[in-house]
Amino acid sequence: MFSGPSSPHPEPRRRRRGVLVAVLLVAVVAAGAAGWFLRRSADGEPPAAAPHGAPAPSHAPTGHGAGHAPSGHARLTGKVVLLDPGHNLRNRDHTAKIARPVDVGNARKECDTTGTSTDDGYAEASYTLDVARRARELLHKEGAKVVFTQDGDRPYGPCVDERAALGNSAHADAAVSVHADGSAVGNRGFHVILPARVTAGKADTSAIVAPSRALGTQLAARFGAVTGSAPSNYLGDGTGLDVRSDLGGLNLSKVPKVFIECGNMRDPKDAAQLTDPQWRQKAARGIAEGITDFLED
């Protein structure tokens, strides 16, 4: 029985020493465990799971360039990546505004378009935003700062010239515009669109043609390997690469930039992949790893 301070029979001295030793031992063990946990976290290993019912730590992004803290082995610390989710689901509600022409250097083209969709109505704009968000999470874990052209937070667009300007103003080390194609049934596979050499009006791609090709080559290789998808059977002669001079998002870019058409939404077999969340995670990983390969070279 414990005897409190007011007890007329105080605890023997030897028992007090035993209690003190036990307390010191508990403190030493606790300090050692805390040190092990901190060393484990510092080495990049995940901490033990929280007890059942405890709230998980929040990692929600707070802005276009915000996100997870990088892992202990982050490879892209200090790098800036622009992700450009193609089109915008709300474009269909602003057809007059997205139809207005903008200067793309060697021509005038529509501000933006509504994009395509699968036969059952899954919109390209929904696909591109979902995959871009998944890729952003993966790139954040590698330490990159990721800038979006739109995150479902704009009434329409942005226009193609602004999409290029956003990458330029961010001084992006790499920029990728995410799309899915709307070609004929039987046309399958992915392709990466590279900028042609364009020097006209506001456009001058001279400095980005070579690095953009390097980016596109890495992206095509990783995307195919991760997703298991074959390069396009209707563009690029089996290389998965296509060069174009009519896209404002490429013509007006001052940073290495490519487009990736992840598959053909109008082909049933490709559409089955594009609408599968597990496949979209693979697509995001292929994009993120392709960008990482390029930036590590």
Return the DSSP state at 103: E
pLDDT digits (tens, 9 = 90+) for 216-250: 999 999 999 999 999 999 999 999 999 999 999 99
Q: Where does 80-296 sit in CATH, by number?
A: 3.40.630.40
Q: What band does 70 get if pLDDT is binned at 50, 70 and 90?
A: low
Distance separating alpha carbons of residues 259 and 236, to the nearest angstrom: 14
Q: State the average pLDDT over residues 131-137.
A: 98
Mean pLDDT (the chain) is: 83
How many other CB atoms are found less than 10 A from the CB of residue 173?
Answer: 21
Distance separating alpha carbons of residues 239 and 278, to the nearest angstrom: 25
**Among the options 124, 142, 162, 261, which is catalytic?**
261
Lowest mean pLDDT, pick from 11-25, 112-126, 210-224, 281-295? 11-25
Lowest mean pLDDT, pick from 7-16, 52-61, 135-144, 149-158? 52-61
C-alpha closest to that of 152 among 193, 91, 205, 210? 91
Asked whether the beta carbons of 279 and 269 are under 8 A apart, the reply is no
Domain boundaries, the chain: 1-55, 80-296
Q: Is 261 a catalytic residue?
A: yes
Q: State the average pLDDT over residues 27-48.
A: 38
Helix 124-141 / helix 277-296 crossing angle, nearest 10 deg: 50
Distance separating alpha carbons of residues 209 and 216, to the nearest angstrom: 10
| pLDDT score recorded for residue 14 | 38
Q: State the average pLDDT over residues 259-281.
A: 98
Distance separating alpha carbons of residues 83 and 131, to the nearest angstrom: 10
50 pLDDT higher than 80: no
Q: Report the length, in residues, of the chain.
A: 297
How many other CB atoms are found less than 10 A from the CB of residue 169?
Answer: 13
179, amino acid identity: H
| pLDDT score recorded for residue 5 | 33
Q: What whole-number percentage of the chain has pLDDT above 70?
A: 76
| pLDDT score recorded for residue 49 | 32
Residues 156, 250, 183, 238: what is their CA dihedral angle, to the nearest 10 degrees? -150
68, amino acid identity: H
Q: Assign 270 to helix, strand or coil.
A: helix
